[in-house]
Chains A and B, each alone.
Chain A
Amino acid sequence: MAYYLTVSTSIAIVLISVMGTHLLTGMNGMFSLGQAAFMGLGAYTASILVVTFGVPFPIAVVASILVTLVVAYFVGFATLRIRQDFFALALFGFGQAMIGLFTELVQLTGGAHGFTNIPRITTPTLAFVSLAVVIFIVWSIRRSHFGRDSLAIRGNDMAAKSSGIDIFKHRMVIFMISSAFAAYAGVLLAFYNRYIDSNSFGWMISVTWIIIVFFGGRDSLIGTLLGGVILLVLPEVLRFASEWRITLYCITILFIINVMPKGLFGSIKLPKFVKQLFTKKQQEAE
């Protein structure tokens, strides 16, 4: 039982950052290959504050999210105006740079040995409640005017701009929210696993999140969640075939994207008005 609880708590924590990716990549079509670096930033900031400086946990959480928001603002300021391909690559460079910093600032971060002796503060309840709150925030954004602006920008940014949407500002807000989610997930992860190292925040992690969003269906919040649960549980179930696991994983994803471009659960919608929003959008596209 304890095993299942551990696995499901870890999955809940990862799903928080996947929700950030759902906002950023699914709804806004921005590919951040450095999203996991924000997770690392949150994890390291909170761990250093709590373990090295003895700051209470709640203050450390707020501080690490604030630090991430500031960093995200500056990164976004430099990269959000450029083409989306370049944005992805620039964020990739950012991820590499952050991992370089995590590894090199040995005094602060423990370097390649990782940061140890973190107390276990994250409880399964905290993780699941946080996930629920994050899902609620994303759900509210989706149904808000702001969320519809996202879809307009994703569909055609020039048309959105000429309809009076401030694309740069919009993208900045989304980027900062999703970075904050990643950072918060990082804090929870650090205080659950009690150990972090720079290798767990590489660009392949960001890619995994993007793949989850597309696997489940980027137009569907519930699809992303189900897709995330499936893809994150699959490695545990397929433990007997660890070498072939990722191979199978990749083939599944290629198959889904080629055959069902809307994702596995792309057609599942929870609330009716979101459904109306999408059917309307499709008619316009035709």
Chain B
Amino acid sequence: MEFRLVLQQIINGLSLGAIYSLIAVGFAMIFNILKFSNFAHGGVLGFSAYAGFLAATKLGLPLFPVILVGMLTGAVTAIIIEFIAFRWIRKRNGQLVYFFVTSITMLMLLQQILIIYFGKAFDYYPITLIKTKVVHLGELTIATNYILTLIATVLAFSLLTWVLKKTKVGIAIRAASNDLVATGLMGINADFIVLATFAVSGMLGGLSGVLYGLSASLTPQIGQIVVKGFIASVLGGLGSLTGVAIAAFALGLIEVFLIATIGSGLSPVVIFFIMVVFLLVRPQGVAGQSFVDKA
């Protein structure tokens, strides 16, 4: 490949990786607190993407309010999911397997609601939402929504880091990731922390939904892209949000190059082998501490 093309692919890969990292970090936050894989995150993503779509087409809002609508919808959807699917099981100290089943069921349910209202056809964000289509940078031509994705991701992660390190809620969330029960015993309202985590993860999911909708088309099955976030979180080690984000960027790059070289059909095969090798060699992920199940 020509150098210019390689550079172009790197930018495409980074932008895809940015979306994956938003998904993966939102997913990993829930995992850290409740220790289960939240498939319903895909439903949050789909709902927000369509909420942004409605805001842009029906209300004719410009780009930034559309993103905000998406993030808000994400937070609200995530909180509703927590109330419907997870709260009762958590109160009952139910086994992890029940979380697993309800979260997958929620994903199917939300996806089905989208199918009922929007049909199975493809939808597109209005083309006027981003005025300039491409930016010329020397010899490179970069799509504006790739730049937007990268900037939005950097902003979102900076904000997330600030919230987690400096605010009271953020510190409580980090404490709860360590041990939810002990956090509750220390006089922190555990229910509120779980809700706050779902809200934050929902916002990240909403952002990723709108950004993905902007760079691709919308279908009710859009939520299934969340699995790329799962793979990234496995590679990154679920314990460390930084590791997860880095792994997601790497996954985006790898995927773009695989699609360019061997095609989109076989790239899952290679990604699976990378995942297996990774799990065998370094089960704790790039940066994560290993989880040891206590008896």
Chain A interface (Cβ < 8 Å from any Cβ of B) = 25, 29, 31, 78-79, 81-86, 88-90, 92-94, 96-97, 99-101, 103-104, 156-159, 203-204, 207, 210-211, 214, 243-244, 246-247, 249-251, 253-254, 257-258, 261
User: Contact partner of A88 among B92, B100, B271, CB < 8 A?
Assistant: B100
Interface residues of B in 62-106 (CB under 8 A from A): 84-85, 88-89, 92, 94, 96-98, 100-102, 104-106
Is B1's beta carbon under 8 Å from chain A? no
Instruction: Tell whether A96 pairs with B272 under 8 Å between CB atoms, given A214-B101, A258-B88.
Output: yes
Q: Is the CB of A100 within 8 A of B113?
A: no
Complex: A231 Cα to B293 Cα, angstroms: 34
Complex: A244 Cα to B112 Cα, angstroms: 8
Instruction: Tell whether A99 pairs with B268 under 8 Å between CB atoms, given A78-B280, A93-B275, A254-B102.
Output: yes
Q: Is the CB of A92 within 8 A of B227?
A: yes
Complex: A261 Cα to B101 Cα, angstroms: 11
Q: Is the CB of B269 within 8 A of A210?
A: no
Q: Which 5 A-B pairs have the closest CB atoms?
A: A97-B272, A250-B109, A158-B295, A96-B268, A104-B265
Q: Is the CB of A78 within 8 A of B101?
A: no
Q: What DSSP secondary structure best describes chain B's contact surface?
A: helix
Complex: A273 Cα to B77 Cα, angstroms: 46
Q: Is the CB of B279 within 8 A of A82?
A: yes
Q: List 7 A-B contacts (CB under 8 A).
A: A25-B97, A85-B36, A86-B279, A92-B230, A93-B268, A93-B276, A158-B293
User: Contact partner of B89 among A29, A243, A246, A258, CB < 8 A?
Assistant: A258
Instruction: Tell whether A97 pairs with B271 under 8 Å between CB atoms, given A89-B230, A89-B234, A92-B230.
Output: yes
Q: How many A-B residue pairs have CB under 8 A?
A: 122
Q: Is the CB of A97 within 8 A of B269?
A: yes
Q: Is the CB of A90 within 8 A of B116?
A: no
User: Contact partner of A103 among B89, B238, B265, B271, CB < 8 A?
Assistant: B265
Is B171's beta carbon under 8 Å from chain A? no
Is B140's beta carbon under 8 Å from chain A? no
Q: Is the CB of A104 within 8 A of B263?
A: yes
Contacts of B263 in A (CB 8 A): 104
Instruction: Tell whether A254 pairs with B106 under 8 Å between CB atoms, given A93-B268, A104-B263.
Output: yes
Complex: A88 Cα to B94 Cα, angstroms: 19
Instruction: Tell whether A83 pairs with B293 under 8 Å between CB atoms, given A244-B116, A246-B108.
Output: yes
Residue of A29, A90, A93 contacting most chain B CB atoms (<10 Å): A93
Residue of B36, B85, B263, B279 contacting most chain A CB atoms (<10 Å): B279
Residue of A nearest to B39 (CB): A207
User: Contact partner of A156 among B36, B227, B276, B295, CB < 8 A?
Assistant: B295
Complex: A89 Cα to B89 Cα, angstroms: 22
Q: Is the CB of B275 within 8 A of A100?
A: no
Contacts of B106 in A (CB 8 A): 250, 254
Min CB distance A217 to B, Å, is 12
Chain B interface (Cβ < 8 Å from any Cβ of A) = 31, 35-37, 84-85, 88-89, 92, 94, 96-98, 100-102, 104-106, 108-109, 112-113, 115-116, 227, 230-231, 233-234, 238, 263, 265-269, 271-273, 275-276, 279-280, 283, 291, 293-295
Q: Is the CB of B105 within 8 A of A211?
A: yes
Complex: A156 Cα to B227 Cα, angstroms: 28
Q: Is the CB of B89 within 8 A of A90?
A: no
Instruction: Tell whether A79 pairs with B276 under 8 Å between CB atoms, given A93-B268, A97-B271, A247-B113.
Output: yes
Contacts of A100 in B (CB 8 A): 265-269
Contacts of A246 in B (CB 8 A): 108-109, 112
User: Contact partner of B102 among A103, A244, A257, CB < 8 A?
Assistant: A257
Q: Is the CB of B279 within 8 A of A78?
A: yes
Q: Is the CB of A83 within 8 A of B291?
A: yes
Residue of A nearest to B270 (CB): A97
Beyond A93-B231, A158-B294, 13 additional contacts (C-beta under 8 Å) are A78-B276, A79-B276, A89-B233, A90-B275, A90-B279, A93-B275, A96-B268, A97-B272, A207-B108, A210-B104, A244-B116, A251-B109, A258-B89
Complex: A85 Cα to B295 Cα, angstroms: 17
Contacts of A82 in B (CB 8 A): 279, 283
Residue of B112, B113, B294 contacting most chain A CB atoms (<10 Å): B112
Contacts of A159 in B (CB 8 A): 295
Residue of A101, A157, A243, A257 contacting most chain B CB atoms (<10 Å): A257
Complex: A41 Cα to B269 Cα, angstroms: 14
Min CB distance A201 to B, Å, is 13
Complex: A214 Cα to B238 Cα, angstroms: 26
Complex: A242 Cα to B191 Cα, angstroms: 38
Min CB distance A163 to B, Å, is 12
Q: Is the CB of B268 within 8 A of A210?
A: no
Contacts of B98 in A (CB 8 A): 214, 257, 261
Complex: A243 Cα to B31 Cα, angstroms: 32
Contacts of A94 in B (CB 8 A): 272
Instruction: Tell whether A210 pairs with B101 under 8 Å between CB atoms, given A89-B37, A247-B109.
Output: yes
